[in-house]
Amino acid sequence: MLTVALAAVAALAGLTGTWSPCGFSMIETIGGPGRRVGTSCAAFAGGAVAGGVATFGLLAAAGQAVRSAGAGGLLVAAAAIAVVGALGELRGAAISPQIRRQVPEHWRRSLPLPVAAGLYGVLLGLGFTTFVLTFAVWALGAVTFAVGRPEVGVAVGIAFGAARALPVVAIAPLVHRPAGVRMCAALAERPRLLRTMRLADAVALLLAAAALFAAQASGARLAVGSDPSAAGGAVAWTTAAGGFLRREGEPGTTAIPAHAVLGGSLIAWRDGDTVHVANAADLSAVLDVTVPGVDAVAISDEWLVTREPGAAGDELTARLLSAPDDVRAVATAARPAQLGRPGVDGSTVVYHVATPTGSRIVAYNLDAGTSRVLRRSRSALLANPSLLAGRLLYVRQTSLAQLLELGPATPGARNRILYRLAAPAPHDAGHEKGHSSETRTPRPKTAAWTLWTSALSATRAYVTLLPRTRGKLPVIVTVAR
């Protein structure tokens, strides 16, 4: 939805660029008599798309790096920028800041036309190297940076470059024919056309702003409950009144057993010391296993993973569904260290190890019997991971913030922040009463909630919010990936 909205803005912004000095120049240059028009049009279009992808892709990548560094709340800022751009377009205001540069004229004389056209296309596709005819270009730059998703930036760049090239490619071959002359005259002599395009830009920007607000608001509450799990387009969670399942994107819930988790095509839940495994589609029984003290479960189509108390502390064990009597030790932790709720995808288990000297997210390959540390910190609490198709979702808590991070399930990979809460505990003023307040000691707000267990689906991420004050119930929020 967001990608489509921004691509639409980009396409309209690219079309609006036709009215620039460079846009007109390209039509006349490429369409000149006796020129290699077809080849030049292709080169121009390719260059424009490449330029668009370079600009908006890089802006998005830079935005992603900034978001990885901890900046949050950028979607609201992006939406505000889109609204401001739309207001400018609605008023038909003069573009400011304006870039009063044109492509190098001498290229058309000194280079073969296809080469020059290709280079001209790159410059026009870059967007910010020549005259800007709509606030939408500036807004797109800021929004793609704020959204910080390279795939969105690439889509925006392709749409912008293609739309920038389309009028040129369409009119240039006809420019010396009556139809082409009429089209050029219409472009040049009917300012209403440009005004209409700018109004369209405004509408598209407002729609994009709405999509951005929706994306921000999607970090909204799913339900009261905790311990979400997701598989097969559904999400399950548990409450004091039992478990619930919801198909993603559909209203309504289905009652399921408490403490149920989804994985692959299966569902598993614990009831006392018994773990039940069933088909998620119809709850038909697959397997019952007794695991004394079991307090957490994860399931895939091949494996059942459980956490139970051992003599020294937490233990994680795994069972092949085809051979449930073959119990394999995955990990143990001596108190006060804790093992987190496991998550399993295929044959890979992820879990956290939290100790007073550090925390880490570990992936254990059940087939190979090997483990590796995916994330590690000596100061932050890294907890409650989920895994799906090589993507790792987990919670990072520091003294300043709580983050829900998504990144590749490879050691030390960079993450994207999907959701953020304020500090997990109160801070003081950073200075003593009656003394100077001149200190750089940060004083973050304190969150009312603590980020807890997570789940990851193909399109969304889920996280439990535990209340910091007694008497409140935990809730689950969901955000788009």
Partner 1 sequence: MPELASLTEGLAASTSRRGFLARVSRLLALTAGGGAVAALIKPGEADAFHFCGHIYTTDSCPHPTGLPRIDAHGFPLRAADGAPVDDLGRPVNGQGMPIGPDKQPLLDPDGRPLPPAPRSRVCQEGVAERYHLHTRIDGAWYRCCGGHVRKLVDCCAQTRRRINGDGALTGYCYAGRRVFCVMYYDTKIPC
In whole angstroms, the minimum distance from the beta carbon of 252 to partner 1 comes to 24
3-state secondary structure of 196: helix
d(CA 207, CA 211): 6
290 backbone dihedrals φ, ψ, rounded to 5°: -95, 125
Residues of this chain, 442-461, that bind partner 1 according to CB under 8 A: 442-443, 450, 452
Of the candidate spans 58-66, 76-84, 190-198, 376-384, the one that interacts with partner 1 by CB under 8 A turns out to be 376-384
Q: Are 403 and 446 in contact (CB under 8 A)?
A: no
Q: Are 413 and 426 in contact (CB under 8 A)?
A: no
In whole angstroms, the minimum distance from the beta carbon of 274 to partner 1 comes to 16
Count of beta carbons in the 10 Å neighbourhood of residue 446 = 13
- Amino acid at residue number 223: A
Q: Does 354 bind partner 1 (CB under 8 A)?
A: yes
In whole angstroms, the minimum distance from the beta carbon of 343 to partner 1 comes to 15
417 backbone dihedrals φ, ψ, rounded to 5°: -85, 120
Nearer to partner 1, 414 or 431 (CB): 431
Of the candidate spans 22-30, 109-117, 367-375, 379-387, the one that interacts with partner 1 by CB under 8 A turns out to be 379-387
Q: Does 422 bind partner 1 (CB under 8 A)?
A: no
Please provide the DSSP assignment of 87-126 as one string.
HHHHHTPPPSS-------TTHHHHS-HHHHHHHHHHHHHH
* Residue given tokens 């809730």 in the structure block: 475
In whole angstroms, the minimum distance from the beta carbon of 261 to partner 1 comes to 13
Nearer to partner 1, 302 or 314 (CB): 314
Rg (CA), the chain: 28
Q: Are 476 and 225 in contact (CB under 8 A)?
A: yes
Q: Does 136 bind partner 1 (CB under 8 A)?
A: no
Distance of CA 302 to the CA centre of its chain: 30
Please provide the DSSP assignment of 167-235 as one string.
HHHHHGGGTTSHHHHHHHHHHHH-HHHHHHHHHHHHHHHHHHHHHHHHHHHTSEEEEE-EEEEEETTEE
Nearer to partner 1, 1 or 429 (CB): 429
In whole angstroms, the minimum distance from the beta carbon of 310 to partner 1 comes to 14
In whole angstroms, the minimum distance from the beta carbon of 466 to partner 1 comes to 7
CA distances from 455 to 342, 363, 387, 479 (A): 11, 16, 8, 11
Of the candidate spans 54-62, 245-253, 403-411, 462-470, the one that interacts with partner 1 by CB under 8 A turns out to be 462-470
Q: At what angle do helices 113-126 and 37-68 cross, to 10 degrees?
A: 30
Of the candidate spans 1-9, 156-164, 202-210, 372-380, the one that interacts with partner 1 by CB under 8 A turns out to be 372-380
Nearer to partner 1, 335 or 414 (CB): 335
Q: Which of 3, 338, 347, 371 binds partner 1 (CB under 8 A)?
A: 338
Q: Does 356 bind partner 1 (CB under 8 A)?
A: yes
Nearer to partner 1, 194 or 381 (CB): 381
What number of chain residues touch partner 1 (CB under 8 A)? 50
- Amino acid at residue number 461: A
Residues of this chain, 208-267, that bind partner 1 according to CB under 8 A: 226-227, 238
3-state secondary structure of 51: helix
In whole angstroms, the minimum distance from the beta carbon of 358 to partner 1 comes to 5
Residues 399, 405, 411, 414, CA torsion sign = negative
Q: Which of 18, 317, 348, 359 binds partner 1 (CB under 8 A)?
A: 359
Closest to 479 measured CA to CA, from 211, 230, 219: 219
Residues of this chain, 268-287, that bind partner 1 according to CB under 8 A: none
Q: Does 438 bind partner 1 (CB under 8 A)?
A: yes
In whole angstroms, the minimum distance from the beta carbon of 464 to partner 1 comes to 8
What the block records as the tokens of 142 is: 């800021």
Residues in contact with partner 1 by CB under 8 A are 226-227, 238, 295, 335-338, 340, 352, 354-359, 377-381, 383, 397-399, 423-432, 435-443, 450, 452, 464, 466, 470, 474
